[in-house]
Amino acid sequence: MSTNAAGISIRGVTKRYGSTIALNGVDLDVRPGEVLGIAGPNGAGKSTLIRVIAGEERSDGGELTFDGVPWSPTVDWHAVAVVHQEPQLFPNLTVAQNVMVGREGTSAARPSLSAADARVMDALGIGHLRDRQLADCSLATQQRTEIARAVARDSRVFLFDEPNSALTAAESDELFREMHKIAATGRIVLLVTHRLGDLVEHCKRVAIVRDGRVRAVLEGEALTEDGLARQLVTDSGGAHGHAGARNAAATQAGPELFSARGWTHAKAFRGISMDGKAGEIIALVGVEGSGSRELLRSFAGLERCTGTISIGGMSGEAALRRQTAYVPATRLLSLYSNFSVGENLLVRLGYPEIAGFGLALKRRRMREMARAAVSRFLVKTRTTTQEIRSLSGGNQQKVAIAQALHCGPKLLLLEEPTRGVDIHSKAEIYRLLRDYADEGNTVIIFCTEVLEVYEAADRVHVVAGGTLSPSLQVAEYGHVEQLATDITRLEQEGRSEARAA
């Protein structure tokens, strides 16, 4: 009884968004003094669970208890501190002011730094920076400030959400040392990360969230990178077309469609050579700050680069402008909330597709095109005149992709095309991409999940330290774990090469 009562107990917690079930009865115990890892594929409910624990979202059902007492994080939000990937602080205030913020209390006077605050900041190694404006501090310092604020507030639960994705190796070691110190004081610590190595190294137990539930909790012997990788992958029955056979066919078939030589960006990468054949889907993998996102965006002409490039018989600026279309990672950057579904589908088109003489819109044609697009791109919507917001996340994502496909790019560029998308839509999106490649185009996807590489791509390049690895043929892998291992190896090689150079 005593072991069960201490810490947070989550029982049967559910959460739905419209028709989508994000959490479907989560059971989880978090004990004080341990570091509990949480892992799961994107869109599996992991981030919803975190938001519920952090009090940013109210659960629909189930119950939470803290030390045996019913607990509502939305009310008791002070108890939970989240250390974000991107610190959510006030960049215009100093480090010390950020630590004190929210503690103005009832007096009109500005709060002053207490001795206890100073001790906390010193312990975290940011004491000497206290009067520095936060905007001028490194990301590592900003995260420490976030931790200091939480410690000073006496938060009892610390939630580290992908905390080291943009830190150097040394900085993240430091961060994890602080994390363990916090756990040692008997506080509750949760670590959410995509990096399996970190989970194995730093967590006592790791909960795997899949399809809105905690599917497994690994600990002790069972807690290995391999074991985690397998848990993350073995799920979601049906959605898995490892596209082996089609891959093989595609690699033989297509003529060269895309090539970049000496492709160099002022900050993110240099001297990259890359090719693509018609019919190919190529994945780019790389951690935040590796240059992979910038590389993808540069092919869309959104980053200024030097080098030579040719796409579908055109070269230079013209090729980037006329032959490519880019789909950003978040739908906030591709959909127009003031537009209907149909308008969103057609918004990238212009003269002569949807407008004729005098730039008058061809309204009947637009209606027909919108209806055709809805059925071709498998968008589930009652009408084309519905508000875009009324669609589910997966269907919104299909609209975002369809928008770009309508331009008929020879080179389609997508950033995390299935982020926050349900399994069914995911499979449909992969099918759409495959069909589009089969029509004689090249598709490049920036992925953060190995599973996505495995399910969707023919080849994968790893970007690390601003250079591009040789590609791996996905069809040669019988298991996603092997692919994950090789990608990790290429990542490490790339980073050490970059350091040597």
> Six-digit token pair at 136?
């001028």
With respect to other proteins, which residue has the nearer C-beta, 172 or 292?
A: 292
Task: Establish if 473 lies at the interface with other proteins (CB under 8 A).
Answer: no
Among 106, 107, 252, 338, binds other proteins (CB under 8 A): 338
Q: Please, what is the minimum distance in Å from the beta carbon of residue 54 to other proteins?
A: 25
DSSP 417: T
Q: What is the rounded CA–CA span in Å between residue 370 and residue 416?
A: 25
Q: Please, what is the minimum distance in Å from the beta carbon of residue 310 to other proteins?
A: 19
Task: Establish if 329 lies at the interface with other proteins (CB under 8 A).
Answer: no
Backbone angles phi, psi at 73, to 5 degrees: -60, -30
Binding mask 35-64 for other proteins (x = CB under 8 A): ------------------------------
Q: How many CB atoms lie within 10 A of CB 335?
A: 19
Task: Establish if 326 lies at the interface with other proteins (CB under 8 A).
Answer: yes
Q: How many CB atoms lie within 10 A of CB 60?
A: 14
With respect to other proteins, which residue has the nearer C-beta, 31 or 348?
A: 348
Task: Establish if 339 lies at the interface with other proteins (CB under 8 A).
Answer: yes
Q: What is the rounded CA–CA span in Å between residue 391 and residue 385?
A: 12
Task: Establish if 366 lies at the interface with other proteins (CB under 8 A).
Answer: yes
Cβ–Cβ < 8 Å for 155, 81: yes
Among 384, 396, 471, 488, binds other proteins (CB under 8 A): 384
Preceding amide of 352 cis, omega within 30: yes
Number of residues forming the site for other proteins (CB under 8 A):
43
With respect to other proteins, which residue has the nearer C-beta, 253 or 333?
A: 333
Among 304, 363, 500, 501, binds other proteins (CB under 8 A): 363
Which string of DSSP letters, residue by residue, matches 142-179?
A: HHHHHHHHHHHTT-SEEEEESTTTTS-HHHHHHHHHHH
> Six-digit token pair at 77?
């939000």
Alpha-carbon distance values, 204 to 11, 95, 103, 232 (Å): 21, 32, 34, 18
Among 74, 383, 492, 496, binds other proteins (CB under 8 A): 383
Enumerate residues 6+ apart whose C-beta is below 8 A from 72.
Answer: 55, 64
Read off the amino acid at residue 231: Q
Among 108, 115, 359, 500, binds other proteins (CB under 8 A): 359
Among 93, 355, 378, 498, binds other proteins (CB under 8 A): 355
With respect to other proteins, which residue has the nearer C-beta, 205 or 406?
A: 406
Cα atoms in the 13 Å half-sphere on the side-chain side of 408: 4
Cβ–Cβ < 8 Å for 311, 410: yes
- Chain centroid to Cα 29, Å, comes to 26
Among 37, 291, 328, 420, binds other proteins (CB under 8 A): 328
Task: Establish if 380 lies at the interface with other proteins (CB under 8 A).
Answer: no
Q: What is the rounded CA–CA span in Å between residue 34 and residue 8?
A: 12
Binding mask 389-408 for other proteins (x = CB under 8 A): --------------xx----
With respect to other proteins, which residue has the nearer C-beta, 193 or 340?
A: 340
Judged by CB under 8 A, the chain residues 261 through 300 that form the site for other proteins are: 300
With respect to other proteins, which residue has the nearer C-beta, 4 or 351?
A: 351
Cβ–Cβ < 8 Å for 215, 236: no
Residues at the site binding other proteins, with contacts judged by CB under 8 A? 300-302, 321, 325-326, 328, 332-343, 346-348, 350-351, 354-355, 358-361, 363-364, 366-367, 370, 382-387, 403-404
